[in-house]
Amino acid sequence: MIQLKEIDKFIESRFHRVFILKGINLTINEGEFVTLMGPSGAGKSTLLNILGLLDEDYEGEYWFGERNVTKMRDRDRSNLHKSEFGYIFQAYHLIDELTVYENIETPLLYRKVPSGERKSIIANLLDRFNMVAKKDLFPAQLSGGQQQLVGIARAIAGRPKILLADEPTGNLHSAQAQEIMEVFQELHKEGTTIIQATHARENADFGTRLIQMLDGKIDQDEVITHV
């Protein structure tokens, strides 16, 4: 489904190149649930941004199925992003002027989901995350954890084929974190491919594969076995 070949990302400083990612070769198949771990600064968010088509400033090749993303026009890349990916950001990226309800609705509007269906999808998500009473509030009126939940609801509302999540449980208490991982597990069972970056080792146990990053490289890549 996704293949990265020899991806390098660097910044030019005055005297030398500083590599943020170096020689990344990675294949992710449909239906995998991958966890990226590694110390702060290892390059996890940078790699997620590249995978999610949010950053095209790198060298190497990115293949999405038969399509060479590296050679795509901006508009096609943006359409591919909107149609296939759901993205949960480390900083929630909610739209401040929209209510909780409207924030969750945005990907459904992009995907031209009919109004009745939109209502039922959003009602289900609000219910699932215990946010029904908050639906008309604005992001600034929510706690950090609640904003994270809205970000997650928004990312999964459009039923993306691939869900990318950067520290999805970073601002949540452990019961909420567990709940989010269970939601991910359900989505994975339903066929969603998931790639998450996290510092929480227990989150990796919900997945099928653990990739350890170090200094912009893949250090270890192992299968998670479930007993």
Ligand X SMILES: Nc1ncnc2c1ncn2[C@@H]1O[C@H](COP(=O)(O)OP(=O)(O)OP(=O)(O)O)[C@@H](O)[C@H]1O
CA–CA gap between residue 197 and residue 212 (Å, rounded): 10
Query: Which of the stretches 43-51, 102-110, 143-151, 169-177 binds ligand X when contact is defined by CB under 6 A?
Result: 43-51
| Residue among 2, 26, 28, 44 that touches ligand X (CB under 6 A) | 44
Count of residues engaged in binding ligand X, rule: CB under 6 A: 11
Select the span of 39-47, 119-127, 169-177, 218-226 touching ligand X (CB under 6 A). Answer: 39-47
Residue type for 70, please?
T
Among 12, 13, 15, 40, binds ligand X (CB under 6 A): 40
Q: Which among 199, 191, 221, 193 is positioned nearest to 209, based on CA atoms?
A: 221
Is 45 a residue that touches ligand X (CB under 6 A)?
yes
Q: Beta partners for 26?
A: 4
Min dist. Cβ of residue 20 to ligand X (A): 4
User: Which among 136, 137, 81, 74 has a CA at the least distance from the CA of 111?
Assistant: 81
Closer CB to ligand X, 1 or 200, in the complex: 200
Among 42, 53, 150, 181, binds ligand X (CB under 6 A): 42
Pick between residue 40 and residue 225 the one whose CB is nearest to ligand X: 40
Query: At CA 222, angle to CA 218 and CA 226, rounded to 5?
Result: 150
CA distances from 213 to 46, 198, 210 (A): 11, 11, 10
Q: Which of residues 6-25 bind ligand X (CB under 6 A)?
A: 11, 20
The tokens describing 202, both together, are 């227990």
Nearer to ligand X, 44 or 134 (CB): 44
Q: Are 210 and 222 in contact (CB under 8 A)?
A: yes
Any contact of residue 168 with ligand X (CB under 6 A)?
no
Question: Considering only CA atoms, which of 121, 227, 120, 131 is closest in space to residue 179?
Answer: 131
In the bound state with ligand X, the residue whose beta carbon lies nearer, of 103 and 203, is 203
225 contributes a contact to ligand X by CB under 6 A: no
Interface with ligand X by CB under 6 A: which residues? Answer: 11, 20, 38, 40-46, 197
